[in-house]
């Protein structure tokens, strides 16, 4: 009887331990499930926060880019405004230079002391003007003998001439100037064109007549 009772008690204990172990496993599974749910919630929240951060970062970058573009545009507008004002002033100053050049050409080569004094004064002021323009980046460019360029030249007249290629600048009526690699003022020029066929024929006939006259005289 004693042994049987002992076996029964041990069996009960084992069943109790097994039951407790099963309960622990169930509780553990429940806890793991709950933790997994919490973990999934946290992952989702982290993803939402990352998406929000990405969205705000993009908005910040777009805003920064817009601001940078606005700053560059305003800077460019300011620079263009200053350049336009400078170019307008310099073009007006070129008119003064033109007047000085005309005055110097009109002065007699020789004259009394008064004339020489005025001439030297005009030349001095002219040189000062040209030095100022040079420091500002304004320089004249050569036109005579060059091919006509509509970007650099303004044709005021044409002359028929077969001795040079058509479209050649034969006379510079007013100097052209460059300002910082840009055309500040185009040169006003006279340009060569081909003679018309009738005029060319007349020239040839006249030359033939002249040659015959010279032969007869010989």
Q: What pLDDT digit, counting tens, does each position of 104-152 carry? A: 888 877 767 777 888 888 899 999 999 999 999 999 999 999 999 999 9
Rounded average pLDDT over 166-186: 93
Instruction: Kindly provide the residue ranges of all beta strands, DSSP E only, lying in the chain, ordered along the sequence.
Output: 138-141, 153-160, 169-174, 176-179, 182-185, 187-193
| 141 touches 178 (CB < 8 A) | yes
Please report which confidence band the pLDDT of residue 199 belongs to, taking 50, 70 and 90 as the band edges: low
SS3 97: helix
Question: What is the CB neighbour count within 10 angstroms for residue 189?
Answer: 26
7, pLDDT greater than 80 = no
Phi, psi of 178 (to 5 degrees): -110, 140
Q: Is the pTM of this model over 0.75?
A: no
> What is the distance between the alpha carbons of residues 213 and 216, in angstroms, rounded to a whole number?
5
Instruction: Please give the share of the chain, as a percent, with pLDDT higher than 90.
Output: 33
């Amino acid at each position: 009887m004693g042994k049987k009772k002992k076996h029964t008690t041990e069996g009960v204990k084992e069943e109790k331990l097994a039951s407790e172990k099963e309960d622990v496993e169930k509780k553990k599974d429940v806890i793991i499930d709950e933790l997994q749910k919490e973990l999934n919630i946290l992952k989702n929240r982290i993803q939402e926060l990352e998406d929000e951060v990405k969205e705000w970062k993009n908005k910040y970058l777009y805003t920064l880019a817009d601001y940078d573009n606005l700053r560059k545009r305003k800077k460019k507008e300011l620079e263009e405004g200053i350049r336009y004002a400078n170019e307008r002033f310099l073009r007006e100053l070129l008119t003064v230079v033109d007047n000085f050049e005309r005055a110097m050409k009109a002065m007699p080569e020789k004259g009394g002391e008064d004339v020489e004094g005025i001439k030297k004064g005009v030349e001095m002021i002219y040189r000062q003007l040209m030095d100022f323009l040079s420091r500002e980046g304004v320089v004249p460019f050569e036109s005579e003998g060059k091919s006509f360029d509509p970007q650099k030249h303004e044709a005021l007249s044409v002359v028929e001439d077969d001795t040079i290629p058509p479209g050649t600048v034969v006379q510079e009526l007013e100097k052209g100037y460059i300002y910082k690699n840009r055309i500040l003022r185009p040169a006003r020029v006279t340009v060569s064109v081909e003679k018309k066929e009738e005029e060319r024929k007349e020239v040839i006939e006249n030359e033939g007549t002249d040659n015959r006259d010279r032969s007869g005289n010989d």
